[in-house]
Amino acid sequence: MRRPYRELGKSFAVRTVELLQGLQLIADSIQKVREGESRYLMVLSGQLRSLVAERRKGEVPLLLDVADKFGKDLVIYSMPGIEGSTFPEELQNDLMLHVAGFPVSLERQFPTQKAMLLNEFLDQNLILFKGAQYSPRNIIEWYANKAGGAHYASRIPEDFAALMTLNLMNIQPLANLLLQTSEAILGAGRKLLRSVVEFEIYALVVIPEQHPNAVQAVNYLFDARYEGSEMRISMWLNARLMPAIFVSGLQGGWARVDCDRLIDWSEPRLLYASLLIEDDLSTTIELAVDGVKVGRSQIRFPVFVLSDPLDYESYHNRAADGQPQEFTFAVGQVLMIGRELGPEERANVLLYISSKRSDPELKVMCYSPEAFAHAKRGTKHLNMTGQVSLKFAKDLPKYTAKCM
């Protein structure tokens, strides 16, 4: 007997990975269209329909669904549509084609731009053609359902056929509208991704003299793991006490940046790590010590790793899936900021922590061998195991580098 056909609901994690892939396809297709390969308009329309214009019963457009799950509004700025046009009324009856609404941006660039939700923009009429008005959603559906984005229909709307062949001064209005709409949606998706993924970490760390054989190949300072997922953020020191940052994303992709030089641990050091999503959706991870960049890596895809520490089970001086270490270290300040700071903001943070680093009365939380701290997911409270004590940094035995 043949087993009955069944469909299973996709997990939110799978939906999120699909969103990342969809945004990458949109970014790649925009570049191809800009280079003159117009066939990629079909790829664009298919992805746009799935991300923002899906209307099948029981389905929610992917980008809108993920944004809703994260509690984020997708806001853009658009010029007035056809209804708000200032085109002279006495000429409107003779007007064959009018395109309005653009430019569209993520920040207000012109006083007449108005903020609106992405869904509102998609339903705003931006094309007037021979007396009929059309919205970006209409254009997406035409391309996707009639011109190969999702289906190759045997019949197409008359106005769609006319607009597809229209070429004014080497510009195709319909293709141009689809392209600009794609860029607006890509920008909104990229902004959503950045709002939940990007982070900067600032940690004021002291490494005192170590017990014999305490230093291993990997000595964890901090480790945070998302239960039931590959997502993880770790910072450690290698056997030569050179720092490294490691991230593992929801989709299984990972990245690691290692320090490119030896560090003098005879005084407190400011460790900095960041993860940023670039305009082309690649991921940049950087590592710095005392404001000097010591490592950088760029990955060609977006590494999806939530930036909110409350989403993770976190450990200090231990791996999330490991045993207590013989290693010992002390920490004076730890800041994790869930976005990229501006130049002035970053300078202020660096100045603040640098002043703490040079403070002769700096107090630090010192983890003795086999001591560690643990914070359950959803809480900031650290539960201490073993000997963890508050001390003056100056009272800790200074680390002396050994010849390798």
**Domain containing residue 308: CATH number:** 2.60.120.200
Select from 153, 176, 194 the last residue of a domain. Answer: 194
Instruction: Say if CB 268 and CB 253 are below 8 A apart.
Output: no
| Residues 240, 161 share a domain | no
Q: What angle do CA 271, 190, 187 make, to 5 degrees?
A: 135
Q: Does residue 47 lie within any of the structural domains?
A: yes
pTM listed for this prediction: 0.86
pLDDT of residue 210: 93
- Average pLDDT on 17-26 reads 93
Considering the domain architecture, whether residues 361 and 375 belong to the same structural domain is answered as yes
In a domain, 123, yes or no: no
> Dihedral, CA atoms, 158, 164, 170, 173, nearest 10 degrees?
90
**Boundary of a domain, candidates 194, 209, 224:** 194
Judgement on whether residues 172 and 207 belong to the same structural domain of the protein: no
Same-domain check for residues 135 and 239: no
Q: Are strands 383-385 and 313-316 parallel, antiparallel or unpaired?
A: unpaired
**Which residues neighbour 359 within 8 Å (Cβ) at sequence distance 6 or greater?**
none
Average pLDDT over residues 37-44: 88
Per-residue pLDDT band for 400 (boundaries 50, 70, 90) equals confident
Does residue 119 form part of some domain? Answer: no
Q: Do 180 and 228 reside in the same domain of the chain? A: no
Give, as one character, the DSSP assignment of residue 8.
Answer: -
Indicate whether 282 belongs to any domain.
yes
Q: Do residues 175 and 204 share a domain?
A: no
49/150 Cα distance (integer angstroms): 9
**Is residue 61 included in any domain, yes or no?**
yes
218 and 309 fall within a common domain: yes
pLDDT at residue 4, rounded to an integer: 55
- How crowded is residue 228: how many other Cβ atoms within 10 Å of its Cβ? 8
Listed in order, strand segments (DSSP E) in 150-217 are: 199-206
* Structural domain of 150: 12-74+129-194
pLDDT at 193: 95
Weakest-pLDDT range from 16-20, 134-138, 155-159: 155-159
Average pLDDT score over residue span 132-140 = 85
Strands (E), 46-120: 75-78, 97-99, 104-105, 114-117
Q: Are residues 18 and 138 in the same domain?
A: yes
pLDDT given at position 5: 42
Residue 346: inside a domain: yes
pLDDT at res. 8? 43
Q: Tokens 């195709």 identify what position?
A: 172
Alpha-carbon distance of 87 to 43, in angstroms, equals: 34
Same-domain pairing of 364 and 336: yes
Q: Which of 83-92, 186-195, 353-362 has the highest mean pLDDT?
A: 186-195
Domain edge (last residue) among 194, 209, 228: 194
Q: Does residue 113 form part of some domain?
A: no
**Is residue 44 predicted with pLDDT exceeding 80?**
yes
Percentage of the chain modeled with pLDDT above 70 = 87
Residue 301 DSSP class: S
| Rounded CA Rg of the chain | 27
Answer yes or no: do 365 and 251 share one domain.
Answer: yes
Q: How many structural domains does the chain have?
A: 2
Q: Does residue 209 belong to any structural domain of this protein?
A: yes
The answer to whether residues 202 and 259 belong to one domain is yes
Using the predicted structure, report yes or no on whether residue 1 has a pLDDT greater than 60.
no
Domain shared by 263 and 362, yes or no: yes
